[in-house]
Amino acid sequence: GDSVTQMEGPVTLSEEAFLTINCTYTATGYPSLFWYVQYPGEGLQLLLKATKADDKGSNKGFEATYRKETTSFHLEKGSVQVSDSAVYFCALRSLITNTGNQFYFGTGTSLTVIP
Amino acid sequence: DAGVTQSPTHLIKTRGQQVTLRCSPKSGHDTVSWYQQALGQGPQFIFQYYEEEERQRGNFPDRFSGHQFPNYSSELNVNALLLGDSALYLCASSFNRNTGELFFGEGSRLTVL
């Protein structure tokens, strides 16, 4: 079945450091891929998405490229800020017709950025 | 424009009891999905409601049931609570049953003692 595997945390970085959070997926067909972020005490918010191979999603300085050949969707940011401290979830949605809007989430990676 | 709202935010129950959680979707959305997020884990799909019917279901027992009302709001019911049902229950809405982006509420934190 469909699944997502993402890098386990927690990850601790200094401000302005480079961030990579790895995510790989297993899916039937060609899924859409997402990164969601969960700040403390809040629900999940969409960070970025990509709907087909080689697409690059970007938002707030974060980027991820949909790599079909490696079944990956790694999240990157060139210079993290303290305000980026949160839990990041990689997710996929299958494109099989009529499966509904079921998302499969990874286990989440906790990021702490220290000044 | 109100986003997805859930109630209650926190609740404590004992084993064997029943619980009802409520969700109002984002304005303009007609599809509601429920997810269970155990501590330290990613959200797991419970089921999806569209046009007042359960359209898709994840790997959860029949103790988990739901309902969607004509105004698109939804309830999640869990019967015969187990300790393992302790989790954050997230409601997500979308404007398209198959392709819409999910918008999440802040969740209802259920503790079963």
- pLDDT, tens digit, 9 for 90 and up, residues B100-112: 688 999 999 999 9
Mutate to test the interface with A, among B9, B37, B102, B106 (most CBs of A within 10 A): B102
Q: A93: which chain B residues are within 8 Å (Cβ-Cβ)?
A: 99
Mean pLDDT to the nearest integer, A48-69? 95
CB A54 within 8 A of CB A66: yes
* pLDDT in the model for residue B77: 98
Mean pLDDT to the nearest integer, A87-92? 95
* pLDDT in the model for residue A94: 75
Which residue in the set A43, A97, A105 is minimally distant from B105, CB to CB? A43
Kindly determine whether residue B107 and residue A107, on different chains, have CB atoms separated by under 8 Å: no
Hey, which residues does A65 pair with through a beta bridge?
Answer: A56
- pLDDT, tens digit, 9 for 90 and up, residues B28-82: 899 999 999 999 899 999 999 999 999 889 999 999 999 999 999 999 999 999 9
Mean pLDDT rounded to a whole number for chain B? 93
Which residue in the set A89, A102, A108 is minimally distant from B45, CB to CB? A102
Q: How far apart are CA A100 and CA B3, in angstroms?
A: 21
Nearest CA in chain A to B49: A100
Mean pLDDT rounded to a whole number for chain A? 91
Which residue in the set A97, A101, A106 is minimally distant from B102, CB to CB? A101
Closest to B90 measured CA to CA, from B5, B29, B1, B15: B5
3-state SS class at A80: coil
Q: How confident is the model at residue A102 (pLDDT cuts 50, 70, 90)?
A: confident
Q: How confident is the model at residue A114 (pLDDT cuts 50, 70, 90)?
A: very high
- The enclosing H or E element of B83 equals none
* pLDDT in the model for residue A99: 56
Mean pLDDT to the nearest integer, A82-89? 96
Q: How far apart are CA B58 and CA A48, in angstroms?
A: 25
Please indicate whether residue B92 or residue B97 has the higher confidence score (pLDDT).
B92
Q: How confident is the model at residue A22 (pLDDT cuts 50, 70, 90)?
A: very high
Q: A36: which chain B residues are within 8 Å (Cβ-Cβ)?
A: 104
* pLDDT in the model for residue B55: 87
Dig out the tokens for B100 from the structure. Answer: 């819409």
Mean pLDDT to the nearest integer, A36-62? 93
Q: How far apart are CA A34 and CA A25, in angstroms?
A: 11
Closest to A90 measured CA to CA, from A36, A9, A12, A30: A36
Q: How far apart are CA A14 and CA B64, in angstroms?
A: 43
* pLDDT in the model for residue A96: 58
Q: How confident is the model at residue A43 (pLDDT cuts 50, 70, 90)?
A: confident
Chain B residues within 8 angstroms (CB to CB) of chain A: 4, 31, 33, 35, 40-45, 48, 50, 55-56, 58, 90, 92, 94, 96-107
* pLDDT in the model for residue A95: 61
* pLDDT in the model for residue A98: 56
Give the burial class of A22: count Cβ atoms within 10 A of its Cβ; 0-12 exposed, 13-18 middle, 19 or more buried.
Answer: middle
CB A25 within 8 A of CB A4: yes
pLDDT at position B97 over 80: no
The residues near A52 (Cβ < 8 Å, ≥ 6 apart) are A30, A66
Chain A residues within 8 angstroms (CB to CB) of chain B: 4, 36, 41-46, 49, 89, 91, 93, 97-108
